[in-house]
Chains A and B, each alone.
Chain A
Amino acid sequence: QVQLQESGPGLVKPSQTLSLTCTVSGGSITSAAYYWSWIRQHPGKGLEWIGNVYYSGSTYYNPSLTSRVTISLDTSNNQFSLKLSSMTAADTAMYYCAGNPSDGRVLGSAFDIWGQGTMVTISS
């Protein structure tokens, strides 16, 4: 059974770059079976998809964040990562990594694997 675990700093200063890692266990990140995404949730609010990466390294980003986002694979450690630059207070949120099965479509299926989430606060 594939499991995901986020890691990274809980506190980031304004204007800095956030770096988060999602470790995949019970499966290979180089498998074509899954797309790997980052999703965030502002306190008390709904869910916002940030972007994803496929085993090939191809990525899709939310246009609202694309200028600040990089998602990449680390195949040697079976991880994928998120970098979000120019952080502001508006980026304070719970950040989740998630996986959705590849089904032959560009987007794949629904998110059936989620990490537990990591809270990131932006403050000086």
Chain B
Amino acid sequence: DIQMTQSPSTLSASVGDRVTITCRASQSTTNWLAWYQQKPGKAPKLLIYKASSLESGVPSRFSGGGSGTEFTLTISSLQPDDFATYYCQQYNTYPVTFGGGTKVEIK
């Protein structure tokens, strides 16, 4: 299985901050990498697919980058609605695997 490691596990930030979350894969996933946002009691919501493609309806302050084994999710200016947990996921190889999550908290 491809192991996905996210850092940091928790991030404290203020509204307006630029925030970057990193996801590292134990082997190359080429660019078959997605990012999800999950709020308490809710299902995950797709933000980014194919490493850098923005899902329809997702604000442009979200962006994804990277390829191979290292990927990033950046929020250019953190908004109150963005405080949540974020997960990366590889879909290059079965079984599909997710990172452990990064919780973005209010500073």
Residues of A within 8 A of B (CB): 37, 46-49, 60-64, 96, 98, 100, 106-112, 114-117
- When distances are taken between beta carbons in the complex, the residues of chain A under 8 Å from B55 are 112
Report if A108-B44 is in contact (Cβ < 8 Å); known contacts: A46-B100, A49-B98, A63-B1.
no
Question: Chain B: how many interface residues by the 8 Å CB criterion?
Answer: 25
Are A62 and B95 in contact, CB atoms less than 8 angstroms apart? Answer: yes
Chain B nearest CB: distance from A90 CB in Å? 18
- When distances are taken between beta carbons in the complex, the residues of chain B under 8 Å from A109 are 49-50, 91
- When distances are taken between beta carbons in the complex, the residues of chain A under 8 Å from B91 are 100, 107-110
User: Could you say which of B32, B46, B94 contacts A111, with CB atoms under 8 Å apart?
Assistant: B46
Report if A116-B94 is in contact (Cβ < 8 Å); known contacts: A46-B100, A107-B32, A110-B34.
no
- Tell me the nearest residue of chain B to A51, going by C-beta: B95
Which residues of chain B (38-55) have a CB below 8 Å from chain A?
42-46, 49-50, 55
- When distances are taken between beta carbons in the complex, the residues of chain B under 8 Å from A108 are 91
- Tell me the nearest residue of chain A to B42, going by C-beta: A116
Proximity string of chain B (90-102) to chain A, C-beta cutoff 8 Å, 1 when within and 0 when not: 0111111111110
- When distances are taken between beta carbons in the complex, the residues of chain A under 8 Å from B92 are 107
- When distances are taken between beta carbons in the complex, the residues of chain A under 8 Å from B89 are 47, 110-111
**Besides A46-B98, A49-B96, A100-B91, 19 new A-B residue pairs in contact (Cβ under 8 A), listed by A number:** A37-B96, A46-B100, A47-B89, A48-B98, A49-B97, A60-B95, A96-B43, A107-B91, A107-B93, A110-B49, A110-B50, A110-B91, A111-B34, A112-B46, A112-B55, A114-B44, A114-B45, A115-B43, A116-B43
Chain A nearest CB: distance from B106 CB in Å? 19
